C-alpha cells in the first residue's frame, strides 16, 4: 500500500488494541510518532531505498510462480538470490519473534531494536493484505504491467497501492482520509461484524499467521487485480467500482489482524495447555 493505505490499516488497528497493547506500543514508539502508531506505519517504505536499509526491500512482498494462483512458504519465501525467509511472510514471523522474546522475558538483555521491529511488523501486516504484494514473479506483482488509470499512465501495482484509494477519497469522501477510515470502522461494527472473530483467529498457540493472509492475497490478485488488466488496458469506472470493495475489505482485515497480533504479543494472559 501507499501512505494512505498504511495509515488506514494502523488507525483501524489502534482502535482494537487491548490496554496492555496500548501501553507497550506507546513505550516502543519513536519520539517522532507523538504517541500515534499510524504516523510511522509508512516508515519502512521511506527508508527502503537508503543504502543501509536496501536489504529490507524484498521484505515488502512475496512473489509466486506465474499463473498458478497459489502460495507456499518454502517455495516462494526467498529473495532474488534465493536467500530463504527473505519475503513479507518471513519478515512477519521474524519481527513477531523479536517482539515476543522481549515481551515474554523481561530479564534477558534484548539484542533487537524493538522500535524498528514494531514499525516493520505493522507495515508488513498491511502490505501482505495488498493482493499484488503476493503477485506473480514474472510481472513483479503488477509493477511491469503498464495500464491507464482513467487518463493517467501508471502500472497495475500502483493502481492497487494508491490509485483505487485515491479515487475513492475524491469520489466518495470529499478527499478526507479520516472520513474514509470512519466508513470502514462503521462497516466493521455493522456489515463485517460477524466476520471479525474469524479474521482475528490464528492457528492454535501461534502468535502470527501470515501464511493464510498470503494465500488469500494471491487468490484475490488472480480473481480481481490481474483480471481484465492486461498490459495496455485502460482501467476506469467498471474496474474501480468492482475492485474498491476488495481494497476496503483488505484494509479493514489488515487493521484487525495487526491489532490481534499485537494483542497476542503483548498480552500477559497465560495460554492454556
Ligand atoms: N517487486 C517484485 N515483486 C514485487 C511485488 N509483488 N510487490 C512489490 N514489489 C515487488
Ligand atoms: Zn506496493
Ligand atoms: Zn511496503
Q: Give 75-128 pLDDT, tens digit per residue.
A: 999 999 999 999 999 999 999 999 999 888 766 666 789 999 999 999 999 999
Q: Is 141 in the pocket of ligand 1 (CB under 6 A)?
A: yes
Average confidence (pLDDT) over 166-178: 98
- Among 225, 197, 208, CA closest to 263: 208
Residue 272 is assigned to a structural domain of this protein: no
In a domain, 163, yes or no: yes
User: Looking at residue 46, which CATH number applies to its domain?
Assistant: 1.10.575.10
Whether residue 236 lies inside any domain: the answer is: yes
pTM for the model stands at 0.97
Q: Which three cell numbers stand for residue 229?
A: 488488466
Give me the DSSP letters along 103-159: HH-TTSPP-S-HHHHHHHHHHHHHHHTSGGGG-BTTTTTTTT-EEEETTEEEEHHHI
Report which protein residue has its CA nearest ligand 1's atom 2. 140
The count of other CB atoms within 10 Å of the CB of residue 51 is: 6
Q: Is 152 helix (H, G, I), strand (E, B) or coil?
A: strand
Of the candidates 97, 123, 125, the residue with the CA atom closest to the CA atom of residue 206: 97
Residue 260 belongs to domain spanning = 3-266
Q: Is the CB of 233 under 6 A from ligand 1?
A: no
- Tell how far the Cα of 60 is from the centroid of ligand 2, in angstroms: 8
Domain assignment of residue 260, yes or no: yes
Report residue 242's pLDDT band, with 50, 70 and 90 as the boundaries. very high
Q: Is the CB of 219 under 6 A from ligand 1?
A: no
pLDDT of residue 61: 98
User: Which residue, chain included where needed, has cell 491489532?
Assistant: 259
| φ, ψ at 122 (rounded to 5°) | -60, -40
99 occurs within a structural domain = yes
**Count of domains in the chain?**
1
The verdict on residue 115 lying in a domain is yes
Ligand 1 pocket test, pick from 87, 143, 158 with the greatest ligand atom count within 8 Å of Cβ, gives 143
Phi and psi at 28, nearest 5°, equal -85, -25
Q: What cell was used for 97?
A: 519473534
Q: How far does residue 106's CA lie from ligand 1's centre (Å)?
A: 37
Distance of CA 34 to the CA centre of its chain: 22
Identify whether the C-beta of residue 197 lies closer than 8 Å to the C-beta of residue 188: no
Residue 273 domain flag:
no
Q: Assess: ipTM above 0.90.
A: yes
Directed axis angle between helix 237-266 and helix 177-189, to 10°? 70
The candidate with the shortest Cα–Cα distance to 55, out of 44, 65, 64, is 44
**Nearest 5°: CA angle at 143, between 138 and 148?**
125
Amino acid at each position: 500500500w501507499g501512505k494512505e493505505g498504511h495509515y488506514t490499516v494502523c488507525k483501524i488497528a489502534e482502535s482494537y488494541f487491548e490496554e496492555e497493547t496500548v501501553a507497550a506500543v506507546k513505550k516502543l514508539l519513536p519520539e517522532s510518532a507523538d504517541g500515534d502508531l499510524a504516523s510511522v506505519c509508512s516508515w519502512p517504505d521511506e527508508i527502503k531505498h537508503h543504502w543501509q536499509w536496501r536489504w529490507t526491500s524484498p521484505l515488502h512482498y512475496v512473489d509466486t510462480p506465474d499463473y498458478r494462483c497459489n502460495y507456499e512458504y518454502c517455495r516462494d519465501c526467498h529473495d532474488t538470490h534465493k536467500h530463504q525467509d527473505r519475503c513479507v511472510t518471513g519478515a512477519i514471523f521474524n519481527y513477531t519473534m523479536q517482539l515476543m522474546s522481549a515481551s515474554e522475558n523481561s530479564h534477558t538483555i534484548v539484542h533487537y531494536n524493538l522500535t524498528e521491529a514494531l514499525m516493520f511488523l505493522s507495515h508488513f501486516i498491511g502490505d501482505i493484505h495488498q493482493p499484488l504484494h503476493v503477485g506473480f514473479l514474472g510481472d513483479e506483482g503488477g509493477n511491469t504491467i503498464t495500464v491507464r488509470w482513467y487518463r493517467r499512465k501508471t502500472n497495475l501495482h500502483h493502481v492497487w497501492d494508491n490509485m483505487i484509494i485515491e479515487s475513492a477519497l475524491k469520489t466518495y469522501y470529499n478527499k478526507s482520509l479520516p472520513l474514509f477510515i470512519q466508513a470502514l470502522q462503521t462497516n466493521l461494527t455493522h456489515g463485517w461484524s460477524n466476520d471479525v472473530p474469524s479474521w482475528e483467529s490464528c492457528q492454535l498457540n501461534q502468535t502470527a499467521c501470515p501464511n493464510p493472509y498470503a494465500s488469500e492475497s494471491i487468490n484475490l490478485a488472480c480473481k480481481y487485480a490481474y483480471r481484465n488488466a492486461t498490459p495496455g488496458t485502460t482501467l476506469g469506472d467498471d474496474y474501480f467500482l468492482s475492485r474498491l470493495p476488495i481494497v476496503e475489505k483488505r484494509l479493514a482485515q489488515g487493521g484487525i489482524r495487526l491489532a490481534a497480533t499485537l494483542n497476542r504479543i503483548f498480552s500477559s494472559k497465560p495460554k492454556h495447555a
